Structure 1
Amino acid sequence: MEKTDEKRRRKYEPSVYWRRLYRQFKVFYKSTYGKVGFYILLAFAVITLVTPFVVEHPNYTYIAPEVDTHVASEIVQTHLTNISKGNSGVELYSPMSTTLQNEGTSAIYLGTSNGDIYCYGLGATKDSKLGNYNLIYNSHLKGKEKMLQPTMFSLINCAEEITGYAGPGLFQRFVALPIANGSNGNVVIGTIAFQTAGLNKPSFTEMTSFTYNGTIVGNITSDSIAFTGTVSTSIPSCNYANDSLNPSGQVYLLSKNATGDYLYRYQISPGAILGIEKLSMKNPEGISFYGSSFSASRFDKNALILIWNNTSINAYSASNGGLVWSKVVGNTYNARVGPVIPKFYQVSYAANNSAYYLVGSSVDSINLLTGLNQTVRNTGVDLVGLSTTPGHSGLPSDIIATSSLNAYVLTYNSTGSVKTKVVALPVNSGIFSKTATYDSVADSLILVSSKGSILSFNLNFGTKYPFSWSAGLSPVPTSTSVVQYFKDATTGVGAIAVTASNDYIYLYSSTAKECTPIPPMAKLPSGSNLILGSTQYGNDVWARFMESFGNDWIFGISIGFFTIIISLAVAMYVGYKGGFGGEAVETLSLALFLVPSLALLIALSSVINSANFITLILIVSLTGWPFAAFTLIGVVRGVSARSFVEASKLFGSKGGSIMRRHIMPNIGPLLLYLLALSIGGGIGAVSGLEFLGLAPLTTATWGGMLNAAYTDYFVVITQPQWILPPAIALTMFIFSLIFVSRGMDEVVNPRLRRR
Structure 2
Amino acid sequence: MTLADAEQQEPTELPPPRTRTAASLARQRRRAALARFWRGYRAHRAGLIGLGGLAVIALVAVAAPLLVGDHVRSVTAATGAPLAAPSPRYPLGTDQFGRSLLGLLVWGARVSLTVGLLAAALSVAIGTLVGVVAGHFGGVLSTVVMRVTDWFLVMPTLVLAIVLATVMSRSVWTVIIAIGVTSWPTTARLVRAQTIAVESRPYIERARALGGGHRHVMTRHVLPNVMPLVLAQTTLGISAAILTEATLAFLGLGDPTVVSWGGMLQDAREAGAVSSGHWWYLAPPGIAIAVVALAFTLCGRAVESVLNPRLGVGR
TM-score by length of 1: 0.37
Give the match for residue 58 of structure 2.
45
**What is the deviation of 1:612?**
1.4
Distance 1:13 1:744, change over 3 A: closer
- Counterpart selection for 1:582 from 114, 124, 142: 142
**What is the deviation of 1:713?**
5.8
Give the match for residue 203 of structure 1.
none
For the 8 Å contact 1:702–1:726, the answer to whether it is kept is: yes
Distance 1:723 1:754, change over 3 A: closer
- Counterpart selection for 1:678 from 237, 240, 248: 237
Is the aligned partner of 1:516 residue 2:82? yes
Give the match for residue 205 of structure 2.
646
CA deviation map 1:274-308 (0-9, x unaligned):
xxxxxxxxxxxxxxxxxxxxxxxxxxxxxxxxxxx
Q: Aligned equivalents of 2:171 and 2:55: distance in 1?
A: 28
Distance 1:716 1:671, change over 3 A: farther
Give the match for residue 35 of structure 2.
22
Q: Aligned equivalents of 1:681 and 1:754: distance in 2?
A: 21
Give the match for residue 308 of structure 2.
749
Distance 1:62 1:4, change over 3 A: farther
For the 8 Å contact 1:58–1:543, the answer to whether it is kept is: no
Within a 5 Å distance, the mapping from 1:343-354 to structure 2 comes to none
Q: Aligned equivalents of 1:7 and 1:695: distance in 2?
A: 53
- Counterpart selection for 2:174 from 603, 606, 615: 615
Residues matched between the structures, number: 300
Distance 1:657 1:58, change over 3 A: farther
For the 8 Å contact 2:92–2:280, the answer to whether it is kept is: yes
Judging by fraction of residues, say which structure has more helix.
2
For the 8 Å contact 1:64–1:540, the answer to whether it is kept is: no
CA deviation map 1:709-742 (0-9, x unaligned):
4446644863222222211111110011111111
Q: Aligned equivalents of 2:34 and 2:199: distance in 1?
A: 22
**What is the deviation of 1:31?**
1.7
Give the match for residue 146 of structure 1.
none
Q: Aligned equivalents of 2:271 and 2:72: distance in 1?
A: 25
For the 8 Å contact 2:302–2:313, the answer to whether it is kept is: no
Give the match for residue 100 of structure 2.
540
Is the aligned partner of 1:721 residue 2:286? no
Q: Aligned equivalents of 1:518 and 1:728: distance in 2?
A: 19
For the 8 Å contact 1:57–1:540, the answer to whether it is kept is: no
Give the match for residue 9 of structure 2.
none
Q: Aligned equivalents of 2:34 and 2:204: distance in 1?
A: 21
CA deviation map 1:511-569 (0-9, x unaligned):
xxxx52344447xxxxxx54434321233322211011111111011101111111111
**What is the deviation of 1:601?**
2.5
SS at match of 2:63: helix
Q: Aligned equivalents of 1:659 and 1:13: distance in 2?
A: 19
Q: Aligned equivalents of 1:35 and 1:2: distance in 2?
A: 48
Q: Aligned equivalents of 2:25 and 2:210: distance in 1?
A: 30
Q: Give the greater-gyration-radius structure (CA).
A: 1
Q: Aligned equivalents of 2:139 and 2:74: distance in 1?
A: 53
**What is the deviation of 1:753?**
6.4
Q: Read off the aligned partner of 2:231 and give its amino acid letter.
A: L
SS at match of 1:694: coil
Is the aligned partner of 1:593 residue 2:149? no
Within a 5 Å distance, the mapping from 1:282-431 to structure 2 comes to none
For the 8 Å contact 1:709–1:723, the answer to whether it is kept is: yes
Q: Aligned equivalents of 1:32 and 1:652: distance in 2?
A: 47
Q: Read off the aligned partner of 1:630 and give its amino acid letter.
A: R
Q: Aligned equivalents of 1:647 and 1:42: distance in 2?
A: 44
CA deviation map 1:122-156 (0-9, x unaligned):
xxxxxxxxxxxxxxxxxxxxxxxxxxxxxxxxxxx
Give the match for residue 11 of structure 2.
none
Q: Read off the aligned partner of 1:602 and give its amino acid letter.
A: I
For the 8 Å contact 1:746–1:753, the answer to whether it is kept is: yes
CA deviation map 1:4-23 (0-9, x unaligned):
34549x95995212312321
Structure 1 runs not aligned, ≥5 long: 70-514, 523-528
**What is the deviation of 1:689?**
1.2
SS at match of 2:74: coil
Q: Read off the aligned partner of 1:580 and give its amino acid letter.
A: V
Q: Aligned Cα RMSD in Å?
A: 2.6
SS at match of 1:532: coil
CA deviation map 1:160-212 (0-9, x unaligned):
xxxxxxxxxxxxxxxxxxxxxxxxxxxxxxxxxxxxxxxxxxxxxxxxxxxxx
Within a 5 Å distance, the mapping from 1:209-224 to structure 2 comes to none
Q: Read off the aligned partner of 1:33 and give its amino acid letter.
A: A
CA deviation map 1:649-680 (0-9, x unaligned):
11111222222221222222211111112211
Q: Aligned equivalents of 1:58 and 1:18: distance in 2?
A: 44
Q: Aligned equivalents of 2:74 and 2:242: distance in 1?
A: 21
Q: Aligned equivalents of 2:26 and 2:225: distance in 1?
A: 22
For the 8 Å contact 1:40–1:736, the answer to whether it is kept is: yes
Judging by fraction of residues, say which structure has more strand.
1
For the 8 Å contact 2:128–2:191, the answer to whether it is kept is: yes
Q: Aligned equivalents of 1:541 and 1:63: distance in 2?
A: 15
Q: Aligned equivalents of 1:606 and 1:561: distance in 2?
A: 22
- Counterpart selection for 1:63 from 56, 61, 76: 76
Q: Aligned equivalents of 2:103 and 2:314: distance in 1?
A: 43
Distance 1:11 1:587, change over 3 A: closer
For the 8 Å contact 1:52–1:58, the answer to whether it is kept is: no
Q: Read off the aligned partner of 1:607 and give its amino acid letter.
A: V
CA deviation map 1:600-631 (0-9, x unaligned):
223445325x3212122111111111111111
Distance 1:575 1:55, change over 3 A: same
- Counterpart selection for 1:702 from 261, 264, 267: 261
Q: Aligned equivalents of 2:228 and 2:243: distance in 1?
A: 23
TM-score by length of 2: 0.85
Q: Aligned equivalents of 2:314 and 2:86: distance in 1?
A: 47
Q: Aligned equivalents of 1:560 and 1:613: distance in 2?
A: 14
Q: Read off the aligned partner of 1:644 and give its amino acid letter.
A: Y
SS at match of 2:17: helix
- Counterpart selection for 2:123 from 560, 563, 571: 563
Q: Aligned equivalents of 1:521 and 1:616: distance in 2?
A: 35
Q: Aligned equivalents of 2:243 and 2:264: distance in 1?
A: 14
Q: Aligned equivalents of 1:658 and 1:58: distance in 2?
A: 54
Is the aligned partner of 1:626 residue 2:185? yes
Distance 1:2 1:44, change over 3 A: farther
Q: Read off the aligned partner of 2:191 and give its amino acid letter.
A: L
Q: Aligned equivalents of 1:744 and 1:2: distance in 2?
A: 45
CA deviation map 1:306-346 (0-9, x unaligned):
xxxxxxxxxxxxxxxxxxxxxxxxxxxxxxxxxxxxxxxxx
Q: Read off the aligned partner of 1:18 and give its amino acid letter.
A: R
SS at match of 1:623: coil
Distance 1:586 1:12, change over 3 A: closer
CA deviation map 1:671-713 (0-9, x unaligned):
1111112211111111011122233332211111112444466
Q: Aligned equivalents of 1:598 and 1:612: distance in 2?
A: 17
Distance 1:557 1:716, change over 3 A: farther
SS at match of 1:660: helix
